[in-house]
Amino acid sequence: MDAALAIHVFQRALTMGDREAVVRLVAELVPHETRENIIDLALVPALERVGHLWEEGRISLVELYGAGRAAEVATELLEPLPRTRQAGDARVAIAVLEDQHVLGKRLVAAHLRAGGVALLDLGVGLSAPVLVAQALEARVDVLLVSTLMLRGALKVHDVVRRLRDAGSAMRVVVGGAPFRLDPELYLEVGADACGRSAGDALALVHRLGGRCA
Amino acid sequence: MTTLTSCERVGTALSQREGDRVPFFLPATMHGAAQLGLTLPEYFARPERVAEGQLAMLALLGHDFVTSFHHAAGEVVAFGGTVEVHEDGPPTPGAPPLREQDLAGLAPPVPEEVAPLRASLETLRLLRARVGGRVDVLGAVIGPFSLPAMQLGLGPWLDLLVEQPALAERLVAVNAEFAARWGAAQLRAGATAIVVAEPLASTQMTPAGLYRRLGLPGLRALAARVAPLVLSLASAPAIRAAPDLLSAGPAGIVAGSGESLAALKATCRGQATVLGGLDGISMRHWTPAECDRRVRLAVGAAARGGGFVLTEHHGEIPVQVPLAVLQEVAEAVRHHGRYPVAPELTDPA
């Protein structure tokens, strides 16, 4: 595979949310490449580039979302292929705290699943006690928390406190508008890291939880 | 210069002239509760309490507007949604009430038949009776292109925009009619201007061409029936969408968080007033010196020649921002916002 070309073509298809083009690309690559090569050398770098374009204000949320949806399609196509790499043991979960807006969670989930992370979805509109109970029960290692409003973002402090009170070393990664507007907020609420866009999620999960694909 | 009333000061700014000082508004829509010794659920339960809270903020801050805005969730109730109340933040909408299959037969509701909107109208009438003619009373409407994010959920709305544009167009048309009815009802109750929250009009959210095709017609239809109208993109950048937005004839456009006020003012020159300059999220930690610095920067960037109102970008200052910070900001505006603008503010070097 010419990785640079594959990344370019994937990025173009993803940015345009062109799911048919993504299906064609995956179909062309599958006979010649392993699942991991397609993910690591083409799909994930293309998604990261799309994330950078969003960060730089060069594409809109509609386009970023379309890219996430197209990546979901690619991931589903690749899912039946055999894995050549041993799965890691980090358990990664995602949830929306105190809000019904699911877009951020969905985007992050699309990036992580495209990157080969087996993700546990804990749901939306969860209170801090409910989220912590679910995460502890599932023995999560890395918990990704999405928020929309400042009120929800500040509740992360309660999540972290409850986890530590329970003796858990679970790593907490936050994201959402309040954390983009106030870059210091994630430290204030005691999170381990903050993702400014969905494109950050994979690297953060790898850093905090070890290689999980 | 003689001290102007708030209405005179705002009118002067809107006509692109310099009054006695820069008009300003700190949209503290929740701080009034503590002033009245109430919890937020208690506060929002009665329209007269919200009116009293706004009047308390007016007395404490000396800013140039009051607002009848309760919370954004009220408009979703008109379409079958629910409101969740909280002790530590504004009421929020429950799960999105509409599904794609509901849209073909959807009709615009009558605002006066919706309990939370009736409460806002009552707050408006009370405020108008107390400060009308002296202080402007702002009403608020969720924009017809952004309301679907709460009606359907943002993901399903973006799917609909891309995959079923005709159905999306229909939903925007229904929402535009509802927004026009809701805005007109507020004007009849005494609002002097309507703030339209339309964050999805920002190019950060929607490609310009897509918004022009599916969103702008709804905004124009609304603007044809509701005026004066101020457009807020709820902290999202406005400048790249401004030429389209200006074509609807708004009286003002609110800048996005971190956006250049000077650049937006240059784009809007002669067509609309620019509002903005303050960020409510980071405001929680502002020291008196930071309050002073932020006000100086905003005044220096945009105040000269009028056509500027200093305000917070999002339209709802978090209740976690200390009242003392709001008072420091207000004091800084009274000091640095006087016309003519001090030369050292416009020429920091």
Asked if B154's CB is within 8 angstroms of A66's CB, the reply is no
Phi/psi at A187 (nearest 5 deg)?
Answer: -70, -40
Q: What pairing do the DSSP bridges indicate for beta strands A171-175 and A142-146?
A: parallel
Residue of A nearest to B85 (CA): A98
Closest CA to B182 of B112, B254, B83, B91: B112
Closest CA to B23 of B8, B34, B35: B8
Asked if A151's CB is within 8 angstroms of B90's CB, the reply is yes
Q: What pairing do the DSSP bridges indicate for beta strands B83-84 and B92-93?
A: antiparallel
Residue A106: predicted pLDDT: 86
Reading the block at residue B318, the tokens are 């978090």
**Are the CB atoms for B319 and B270 separated by under 8 Å?**
no
| Segment A85-108 mean pLDDT | 81
Residue A86 has pLDDT above 60, yes or no: no
What's the rounded Cα separation, in Å, for the pair B16 and B306? 5
Residue A88: predicted pLDDT: 57
Return mean pLDDT, chain A: 87
Task: State yes or no: cis peptide before A80, omega within 30 of 0.
Answer: no
Asked if A57's CB is within 8 angstroms of B318's CB, the reply is no
Instruction: Return the beta strands (E) in chain A as ranges.
Output: 92-97, 119-126, 142-146, 171-175, 193-195
Residue B285: predicted pLDDT: 92
Fill in the DSSP letter of residue B21. Answer: B
Phi/psi at B309 (nearest 5 deg)?
Answer: -125, 125
What's the rounded Cα separation, in Å, for the pair B143 and B157? 14
Neighbours of A158 (CB within 10 A): 18
Residue B349: predicted pLDDT: 46
Element (H, E) at B38: none
Looking at mean pLDDT, say which of A24-33, A50-59, A154-163 comes out highest. A154-163
DSSP string, A55-70: HTTSS-HHHHHHHHHH
Closest CA to A26 of A9, A47, A51: A9
Element (H, E) at B23: none
Residue B137: predicted pLDDT: 98
Looking at residue B78, its amino acid is A
Within a 13 Å sphere around the CA of B55, how many CA atoms are in the beta-carbon half? 18
pLDDT in tens, A132-167: 999 999 999 999 999 988 999 999 999 999 999 999
What's the rounded Cα separation, in Å, for the pair B109 and B51? 25
Chain A residues lying within 8 Å of B95, measured CB to CB: 100, 125
Burial B252-277 (b: 16+ CB within 10 A, else e): bbbbbbebebeebbebbeebbbbbbb
Q: How confident is the model at residue A206 (pLDDT cuts 50, 70, 90)?
A: confident
Reading the block at residue A174, the tokens are 């936050």
CA angle B55, B124, B277 (to 5 degrees): 65
Reading the block at residue B99, the tokens are 């599904």
Collapsing DSSP to helix, strand or coil, B162 comes out as helix
A57–chain B Cβ distance below 8 A for any pair: yes
Fill in the DSSP letter of residue A184. Answer: T
> What's this model's pTM, rounded to 2 decimal places?
0.92
**Are the CB atoms for A23 and A73 separated by under 8 Å?**
yes
**Are the CB atoms for B334 and B62 separated by under 8 Å?**
yes
Chain A residues lying within 8 Å of B207, measured CB to CB: 60, 62-63
Residue A33: predicted pLDDT: 85
Residue A2 has pLDDT above 80, yes or no: no
Residue A82 has pLDDT above 70, yes or no: no
Residue A79 has pLDDT above 80, yes or no: no
For helices B323-336 and B288-302, the axis angle rounded to 10 degrees is: 40
Chain B residues lying within 8 Å of A60, measured CB to CB: 203-207
What's the rounded Cα separation, in Å, for the pair A108 and A68? 8
Q: What dihedral angle (degrees, nearest 10) is formed by the CA atoms of B219, B222, B228, B231?
A: -30
Fill in the DSSP letter of residue A167. Answer: T
CB-neighbour burial class of residue A184 (10 A; exposed 0-12, middle 13-18, buried 19+) = exposed
Residue A89: predicted pLDDT: 62
Residue B12: predicted pLDDT: 96
Distance from CA of A190 to the nearest CA of B (A): 17
Asked if A62's CB is within 8 angstroms of B162's CB, the reply is yes
pLDDT in tens, A184-200: 999 999 999 999 888 78
Distance from CA of B1 to the nearest CA of A (A): 38
Fill in the DSSP letter of residue B4. Answer: P
Neighbours of A115 (CB within 10 A): 23
Fill in the DSSP letter of residue B338. Answer: B
- Residue ranges in chain B whose pLDDT is less than 50: 349
Distance from CA of B278 to the nearest CA of A (A): 12
pLDDT in tens, B66-113: 999 999 999 999 999 999 999 999 999 999 999 999 999 999 999 999
Candidates A64, A151, A188, partner chain B, best to mutate (most B CBs within 10 A): A151
**Edge-to-edge order in the sheet of strand B65-67:** B24-25, B308-312, B273-278, B252-254, B229-232, B193-197, B136-142, B65-67
Quick one: how many helices (H) and strands (E) in chain A?
11, 5
Residue A213 has pLDDT above 50, yes or no: no
Q: How many CB pairs under 8 A join A and B?
A: 70
**Are the CB atoms for A145 and A172 separated by under 8 Å?**
yes
Residue A35: predicted pLDDT: 80
Q: Which residues pair with B311 in a beta bridge?
A: B25, B277
Positive/negative CA dihedral, B325, B331, B335, B341? positive
CA angle A153, B288, B239 (to 5 degrees): 60
Distance from CA of A87 to the nearest CA of B (A): 31
